[in-house]
Structure 1
Amino acid sequence: MCTLTLAWRAFGDAPVALAANRDEALDRPAEPPTVRGDDGRYVAPRDAEAGGTWIGLSDSGLAVAITNRWLDADREGDRSRGLLVRDCLESDSAEAAVRSVERDLETRSYDGFNLVLADDDAAFLLSYDGGLAVTRLDPGVHVVGNVGGVVNGVERFAIPERRRAFAEERVDSARRIAAELVPEPGESGAEWLDRASAILADHQYGACLHGDDFGTRSFTRILTSTDPTAVPEFAYADGPPCETPVEPASLPPSFTGE
């Protein structure tokens, strides 16, 4: 499971502010973020087992992040969901990435997912359980996890019976995080992102998990700017954010609008 918080066009200085915890098996190998793709088009960490990623930012300002979607029965997907994220990061825009996913699903299948796509101009939540639902996001704060989330100010949860007890904990966590992350008067995108980052590291909100074999493996924060000369922020903690320093990734000049 994972928890993803997104403020899209909620602040005049920051079109995209995103903070996310990745929860995964503790022994699944991963590589830290670096510039990847054709001609260094995006920055992302890498799942060293399947070759894809769970989160990234392209040089066009497109942020992409995915969570698993819990279903009552596992799907036999024929491709890793992380490879779909990688494909989206090669797209020119959020709109183009939606079309890319729709084309891909004509011939491929995946296990359930919630996929967030956001750039300066548009943002979407793509939910897949064997069929694809595309939701255009309104300006504001959105919280997404494995059982859905709070999107466009509306609770959109789907609780699988086989995981009801744990899923209800995830619903409660998403509700409380969404309530805490309502933008404050005069708040900047960077200030909001600091608050979101702190909440995802705070155990009272239930998003930073510790287990023997499974738990929060990493944390990522992304911030873009309305200033075309500003380099976006992409920072990463290679471990649970409650105890792991967040380090900025090095981005090349191509990540500015110049």
Structure 2
Amino acid sequence: MCILFVALEAHPEYPLIICANRDEFHHRPTEAAHFWPKQNRLLAGKDLEAGGTWLGVNQNGLIAGLTNIRDPELIQSDMKSRGELVLKALINDGIDESWLARYSPFYNPFNLLYGDEKALYCFDSRAKRLNQLTAGFHSISNGALDDIWPKMSRGTQAIQAHITNNSNPCIDSLLAIMKDGTQAPDADLPQTGVSLEWERHLSSIYIQHQEYGTRSTSIILKDKRGKVQFSEVRYDGKGRNLGRNDFSF
């Protein structure tokens, strides 16, 4: 996952809204969002290479999602798959902070978001810090929670404007925000250890590249009665729409 936007207690009818883009190599096999047969309380896409997921929700309304922290110097090839952390959080209705602090060194750097509208947390494995999100708007990309990266600021402002000006948030409008391919000026690019060319590619909310880019967008709306709407749209390396799934429970 590359970027997550969160609106927590920011809308009178929808206390939790999440907009997320998953960026990944296009050759990595993936299954679209579905209810998992062996864990039918779990709705998520599936990484068919390692067996985990990047974002999901369970039948109790708990949500979990993950972003990789981009720090090439810390990446090791023999680490466990970070996607299993999302599964652990969803299956167990959360994940213990002490467990994360103890076992996070077995994974490459990550941010793990989990919880619900009553208590939503983000664990930063590089800083070994658990933060509880406050009411309002937040963004998580490949650095720290609420870093001021151009795409994080751009997306947060657009989502905030839509949510505060609409009594019923429009999933199609939120999907359009998440397909913003605007790249940041070189002077505003973060320095995350990759080449300037890749910093440019990765500086947009929606990344289109034939090798690596945005594979899917997910929108999750949870209303104050506990109803969850989950929409996922998938893309190929040319930015073409490969299909959309909508769920409500």
Query: Is it true that 1:226 corresponds to 2:204 in the alignment?
Result: no
**Which one of 135, 138, 144 corresponds to residue 134 of structure 2?**
138
Letter in 2 for 1:83: E
Partner in structure 2 of residue 210 of structure 1: 208
**Which one of 115, 119, 133 corresponds to residue 118 of structure 1?**
115
Partner in structure 1 of residue 231 of structure 2: 235
Work out whether residues 44 and 57 of structure 2, in 8 Å CA contact, stay in contact via their aligned partners in 1.
yes
Deviations 1:71-100 (A, max 9, x none): 2513336311000111111122xxxx241x
Query: Is it true that 1:198 corresponds to 2:183 in the alignment?
Result: no
Quote how far apart the aligned CAs of 1:28 are: 0.4
Deviations 1:204-231 (A, max 9, x none): 2621111121111111111111124x4x
Q: Which moved more, 1:5-14 or 1:238-247?
A: 238-247
Partner in structure 2 of residue 161 of structure 1: none
Could you say what the CA RMSD is over the residues aligned between the two structures, in angstroms?
A: 2.5
Mapping 1:31-50, distance limit 5 Å = 31-36=31-36, 38-50=38-50
Query: Is it true that 1:84 corresponds to 2:85 in the alignment?
Result: yes
Partner in structure 1 of residue 201 of structure 2: none
Partner in structure 1 of residue 150 of structure 2: 172
State the alpha-carbon separation in 2 of the partners of residues 116 and 189 from structure 1: 25
The percent of aligned pairs where both chains have the same amino acid is 26
Q: Which moved more, 1:177-186 or 1:1-10?
A: 177-186
Quote how far apart the aligned CAs of 1:176 are: 1.8
Distance 1:208 1:66, change over 3 A: same
Quote how far apart the aligned CAs of 1:246 are: 5.9
Partner in structure 2 of residue 153 of structure 1: none
State the alpha-carbon separation in 2 of the partners of residues 40 and 195 from structure 1: 30
Quote how far apart the aligned CAs of 1:10 are: 0.9
State the alpha-carbon separation in 1 of the partners of residues 223 and 239 from structure 2: 27
Partner in structure 1 of residue 98 of structure 2: 102
Q: Secondary structure at the match of 1:211?
A: coil
Question: What are the ranges of 5 or more consecutive residues in structure 1 without an aligned counterpart?
Answer: 151-155, 158-170
Quote how far apart the aligned CAs of 1:147 are: 2.3
Work out whether residues 3 and 22 of structure 1, in 8 Å CA contact, stay in contact via their aligned partners in 2.
yes
Deviations 1:81-139 (A, max 9, x none): 000111111122xxxx241x53154246110111112313111111112x521111011
State the alpha-carbon separation in 1 of the partners of residues 169 and 240 from structure 2: 21
Distance 1:210 1:43, change over 3 A: same
Question: What are the ranges of 5 or more consecutive residues in structure 2 without an aligned counterpart?
Answer: 184-203
Quote how far apart the aligned CAs of 1:25 are: 0.7
State the alpha-carbon separation in 2 of the partners of residues 243 and 16 from structure 1: 29
State the alpha-carbon separation in 1 of the partners of residues 150 and 223 from structure 2: 32
Quote how far apart the aligned CAs of 1:16 are: 1.5
Quote how far apart the aligned CAs of 1:202 are: 2.0
Partner in structure 2 of residue 16 of structure 1: 16
Work out whether residues 41 and 59 of structure 1, in 8 Å CA contact, stay in contact via their aligned partners in 2.
yes
- TM-score normalised according to structure 1 size: 0.77
State the alpha-carbon separation in 2 of the partners of residues 5 and 37 from structure 1: 28
Partner in structure 2 of residue 163 of structure 1: none
Work out whether residues 219 and 231 of structure 2, in 8 Å CA contact, stay in contact via their aligned partners in 1.
yes
Distance 1:53 1:39, change over 3 A: closer
Partner in structure 2 of residue 66 of structure 1: 66
